[in-house]
Amino acid sequence: MTLEGSGASRLLQLFSGDNTHPTTITTAVIRTPLPDISIRIDGEPIDTPSQGIIVAEHLTEHTRTVSISGGTVSGNVSEGGTLNSLTVGNATMTIKTNLKAGDRVIVAIANDGQLVYILDKAVV
């Protein structure tokens, strides 16, 4: 399959598959945040409940293993010492969800409207 057009057009082609059940990319508003998320798709009169919604991981609270090095560190140093570098290896970091009621999101509607994928926050 050769994908053509803009980035959004190519993404839509990937979701569309055989074009018998095309996917629509649009925007929506978070009505109720996670975990019992509901959204109102632009132009729709009712909310979409959580049963038909799939949220991208980076928008949810989740834990990742990370390594951190470099950067600027501030705080107290005992005995008048100087902290010149910082390295943290194999640490875990919890990413908090920042989806709140009223946030605008980019959604892909698939399977004849039975599934709604929340892809990302919309910054407009």
pLDDT at 66: 85
Which sequence spans correspond to the domains of the chain? 7-62+99-121
| CA-closest candidate to residue 23, choices 105, 117, 120 | 117
Higher-confidence residue of 81 and 16: namely: 81
State yes or no: pLDDT of 47 exceeds 80: yes
Calculate mean pLDDT across residues 15-29: 75
pLDDT at 103: 96
pTM of full prediction above 0.85: no
Q: Which fold has domain 7-62+99-121?
A: OB fold (Dihydrolipoamide Acetyltransferase, E2P) (2.40.50)
Structure tokens at 18: 């055989």
- Give 91: exposed, middle or buried? Use CB within 10 Å, 0-12, 13-18, 19+: exposed
- pLDDT the model gives residue 70: 72
Residue 23 has pLDDT above 90, yes or no: no
